[in-house]
Structure 1
Amino acid sequence: MKRILIFVIAVVALVFVITYGLNRHNHVQPNDKNEKKISGRIAKEDVDYETIVNKKEPVYKNIDKYLKKEKFNGTIVIYHQGKIMLNKGYGFQDFDIAQKASPNTMYLIGSAQKFTTGLMLKKLETEGKVNINDPITKYLPWFKTSKPLYLKDFMLHRTGLKKYKATSQIHDIDGASKWMQNEGIQPGMYHKHMYNDGNYIVLARVIEVVTKESYAKYFNDNFAKPYDLERTAFYNDTTFQPYMAQGYNNMKIFQKPEFLDQYYGAGNLYMAPKDVAKLVIDLQNYKIFSKQVTDPLLYSVKTKEYPGSYRYGFYSNGQEHRLNGVFFGQQLTSYFNKDYVVVMGNNYQNKTGKNEKMLHHIYVNMLHQRSPNVKKPIKKINRQNVG
């Protein structure tokens, strides 16, 4: 009898461990209404982003040594004048199973996804399908507020709408957008800059209405496929799950992503740093938009079209640019200009803000580039999800 009891206890314990392990990694659940079926992109098994450390120029060997010394956990890629100089993973993609990080590792990019949403919006503008100065009610007739709001207000984060708060009762961006409309404009905040994930979630819903496609399908068909983003996928695209990093806090406790079904447009995309760099380079080289569209987007500041540093999901001071996102223990940050594109993805927040400080040191002190000069670029990332 005692042996039987021990056997039963052992079986129960084994089932618990297996169940925990499955739940621990199964954060990819396609349960959102807007994306009933992923658009058919597959993870190419033959794609292997090579580990590169340019040995002809000592600076890249020094950067490699610096990141090792600082115990950086993540992946970095550096392009100089369109040529890749460094592409390497450090530490672990998943601490719990000791899976090493590599150039193929994909990170939850958080608010950096607003950059891709901005590109999608700009594409529809150039095609004459949307006008940034249109009222939001032209596309979402039910989005009525106490004062008129225009697409440009959402793009520049100046709607004054209450900051979006994800809940378990919402499962798509239509529901998230209706939450935003229902909460309304906050007293004294109309047309004042207030960073809000909800603004870009609403823009994602506008994109769906205009294209008559899901946000994910439109992105995959118009950006991921044509620009060869081979390690880029939404959180619920299970074919890419083996490459998706697991996020950890500064105590190395796993941070399970939640509510990603309502973050299309603002935080549910995974990308390898090399893919982010490729997209930036294609933008700079006029492969996405014409020179007439691209140059003002990247280099104009304090104009009627671009009154401040923030526009279409990233920051620009006219010469240097920055995009950033932090979500569930993961962060992706890029600094770039005409000569350099540096992208760092990481999945270990030790300490909060340290990862961007390392990038800033590399970009300014080792590559000798000017700082993006955005107000408090390092301290701003103390919130869970911020651009």
Structure 2
Amino acid sequence: MLISSKKVLCLAISALTAFSVCLTGCGKDTQSSVSATEKTTAVAASQPVTKAATSDEQTQEPTWNYSELKRKSSDISDNFDAIITDNKFRGTVYVKIGNALEYIGTNGFSDKDRHTKNSTDTCFRIASLTKQFTAVAVMQLVEEGKLSLDDTIDKYFPSYKYGKKITVKNLLTMTAGIKDYINKDGDTNTYAYNESQLEYKVSAENSAKKNKKAVMDWILDQELNFEPDEKYMYSNSAYFLLGDIIEQVSKTSYEKYIKENILKPSGMMNTGFEGTDKLAVGYQDIYDNAWTLYPGVGYSATSLISNVPDLLKWVDALCTNKLISEKSFKEMTTPYKGNYGYGFVVSKDSNIISHTGKIDKYNAALAFTKDENQIYIALSNYSNSSPINLFNNIQKTLAPFYG
């Protein structure tokens, strides 16, 4: 049974206008527990200023029908509620389009044993969305003149046999050819290893430092999949190495650097690397991948924890150049090979910037436009909940309002 309620969503951001992206994917949820949805629709007090279209303007790209979106925002939100329930999505969903539509939906339990439901404040592991933060940290150090994207990584890993071939930019763009320590090469939906298959053993009992060293030793001992800059292949290992480079250059821990230089300036008080009582319990995992949550294993590739309000602050900080310059952000969001920039997937035929993430039982997706006119966020603590599947269904509801 779906229990729905409407209330005003008060997020601690003053300048958000937001949403939409085109992603594909699939997923299913076989859990049959009681669910609940909390919905918010916030509509701007006034419409954007419009003018009569000239003949030139009539040939421009399609746009949103903001007046219709605003007029039917309540019905749209009801449809979103139904989509979340029908897709058996458990987590938190946020959608915003311009000043016409703002929606947040929550469903499922953050902790079944305690009968705690997912809410706006619930935190989730955001998995590979961590890579955006790592990339911004690199660009900050570049702007300070402490690091160059053209540096070959033998400067940081002098004993690595391929260090002279690989640049920092190759790591950022995932064109280094380095074998992925979590996923099967080129397949972000398939775990390639478990802890017993890593030659350098990781353990739940190990310290973060010891596990980090085990993963690092494994990465640096592998043969390359291809010659650097030859092509794109997704690799968590590349971003794991970037974390260590950040530490060497900044002379502080990766975690402390991110906290002091990114999270605090952005006002992201609920984002970090340690679990709190706000962190949702993960459910439904059918794979032997709990090792990815061991201390130090996720590191600069997958270890951040956050929630919807903080991710909205993150988008705002990026788009208003609070963390890096406009020039650096443009460079980060320019597609290289495989439509990948620095920590982002970038659509070539639109200005959509996005990334998805999956770690153990958690799923995450974030997509937005640089003008903050469109934003989509979906975070889940159920392994079979698919943010991409959910979004594809949301897009069907929104399609009549775009053109």
- Residue range with higher mean Cα deviation, 107-116 or 157-166: 157-166
Name the residue aligned to 1:281.
316
Q: Structure 2 vs 1, CA of residues 321 and 369 (structure 1 numbering), >3 Å: closer, same or farther?
A: farther
More moved, 61-70 vs 361-370: 361-370
Q: Secondary structure at the match of 1:213?
A: coil
SS at match of 2:377: strand
- After superposition, the C-alpha distances for 1:159-188 in whole angstroms (9 at most, x for unaligned) are 212221554734343442232112232366
CA distance in 2, matches of 1:134, 1:369: 47
Identity %: 24
Within the candidate set 59, 63, 71, 2:80 is matched to 63
Which is further off, 361-370 or 142-151? Answer: 361-370
Is 1:211 aligned with 2:250?
yes
> Hey, what does 1:336 align to over in structure 2?
368
Is residue 349 from structure 1 mapped to residue 379 from structure 2 by the alignment? no
Runs of 5+ unmatched residues, structure 1: 1-47, 371-387
TM-fit CA distance, 1:256: 7.6
Aligned partners of 1:156 and 1:310 also within 8 Å: yes
Aligned to 1:313: 343
Could you say which structure has the greater relative contact order, defined with CA pairs below 8 angstroms and 6 or more residues apart?
Answer: 2
Output one character per residue of 1:215-265: Cα deviation in whole Å (capped at 9) or x when no partner. 11000001111111122121xx3xx52111122226799968643412211
Query: What is the CA–CA distance in structure 1 between the aligned matches of 2:296 and 2:270, rounded to whole Å?
Result: 20
Q: Which residue of 1 aligns with 2:299?
A: 264
3-state SS of 1:336 partner:
strand
> CA shift at 1:193, angstroms?
1.7
Matched, 1:178 2:243: no
Tell me if structure 1 keeps the 8 A contact 2:244–2:254: yes
For the structure 1 residues 146 and 211, does the alpha-carbon distance in structure 2 shift closer, same or farther, using more than 3 Å as the test?
closer
Q: Would the aligned equivalents of 1:87 and 1:274 in 2 still touch at CA under 8 Å?
A: no
Tell me if structure 1 keeps the 8 A contact 2:367–2:375.
Answer: yes
CA pair 349-244 structure 1, distance change in 2 beyond 3 A: same
- Between stretches 141-150 and 206-215, larger displacement belongs to 141-150
1:75 and 2:82 are equivalent in the alignment = no
RMSD of equivalent CA atoms: 3.1
State the AA in 1 paired with 2:342: Y
Partners of 1:345 and 1:99 lie apart in 2 by: 16
**TM-score under structure 1 length normalisation:** 0.72
- Give the TM-score taking structure 2 as reference length: 0.69
- Aligned ranges 1:232-271 → 2 under 5 Å: 232-234=271-273, 237=274, 240-249=275-284, 258-271=293-306
Alpha-carbon distance in structure 1 between the residues aligned to 2:339 and 2:104: 29
Alignment of 1:145-160 (within 5 A): 145=162, 148-160=165-177
Contact 1:233 1:269 in 2 (8 A): yes
Show structure 2 runs of 5+ residues with no match: 1-9, 13-37, 44-72, 183-194, 203-209
| SS in structure 1 at match of 2:80 | helix
- Map residues 1-387 of structure 1 onto 2, 5 A cutoff: 53-54=40-41, 56=43, 57-58=73-74, 59-81=76-98, 85-145=102-162, 148-165=165-182, 167=198, 169-170=201-202, 171-186=210-225, 191-234=230-273, 237=274, 240-249=275-284, 258-298=293-333, 300-301=334-335, 306-318=336-348, 319-337=351-369, 338=371, 339-350=373-384, 354-363=386-395, 365-366=397-398
Distance 1:218 1:346 in 2: 27
- 8 Å CA contact 1:77–1:274 kept in 2: the answer is no
Amino acid of the structure 2 residue aligned with 1:198: S
Deviations 1:59-86 (A, max 9, x none): 2343233223433210112344489822
CA distance in 2, matches of 1:86, 1:289: 29
Could you tell me how far 1:95 is from its partner in structure 2?
A: 2.8
Q: Which whole-Å CA distance do the structure 2 matches of 1:182 and 1:197 have between them?
A: 15
Query: Matched residues in 1 for 2:147 and 2:164: separation?
Result: 21
For 1:101 and 1:286, locate their aligned partners in 2 and report how far apart those are by CA, in whole Å: 32
2-side partners of 1:61 and 1:292: how far apart? 41
CA distance in 2, matches of 1:369, 1:288: 34
The C-alpha deviation readout for 1:122-170, integer Å capped at 9, x for no partner, is: 1111221111111001223233328611111111112212221554734
